[in-house]
Amino acid sequence: MTAIDDSPDPVFTSGSTRITATVTDQSEIATVELWQLVGKSWVAFGEMNLVRSQYQIDFGPLSAAGAYQWRILAVDVHGNATCSMRAIGDCPGGTTTAIIP
Ligand SMILES: [Ca+2]
């Protein structure tokens, strides 16, 4: 998984950021999901869509100011994941900061 990006970052509260990633696998990709840290738990945010060879999703609205952690979990058609579902925090990802306008 390469070219992981969030734009814009920082983003104003109540706005969204677009998260993009390039996902390659020797097998066909089945699903690419975005997960977010809520409190101390990783929660699935939604499935990323393939648009012009990149997976993307609009992450938000980010209701409160602060740092939002997110990770990307890709699974191929054989059920092999890029990282462990038991340790989503170790998956590729990043942080988006929301600021008050
Ligand atoms: Ca970022």
Query: Ligand 1 center to residue 34 CA distance, Å?
Result: 14
Q: Which two tokens stand for residue 36?
A: 């977010």
Provide the CATH number for the domain formed by 2-85 in this structure: 2.60.40.10
Q: Which residues 6+ apart lie within 8 Å of 6 measured at CB?
A: 17, 18, 19, 20, 59, 70, 94, 96
How much is the pLDDT for 61? 95
Query: Ligand 1 center to residue 10 CA distance, Å?
Result: 7
Tell me the per-residue pLDDT of 73-87, one tens digit each, with 9 for 90 and over. Answer: 999 999 999 899 899
Q: What tens-digit pLDDT sequence spans the chain (101 residues)?
A: 899 999 999 999 999 999 999 998 888 999 999 999 999 999 999 999 999 999 999 999 999 999 999 999 999 999 999 899 899 999 999 999 999 98
Assess whether the previous peptide bond of 8 is cis (omega < 30° from 0).
yes
How much is the pLDDT for 5? 97
Rounded Cα distance between 16 and 46, Å, is 14
Rounded Cα distance between 99 and 14, Å, is 9
Query: Ligand 1 center to residue 58 CA distance, Å?
Result: 13
Query: Ligand 1 center to residue 96 CA distance, Å?
Result: 4
How much is the pLDDT for 34? 98
Query: Ligand 1 center to residue 80 CA distance, Å?
Result: 27
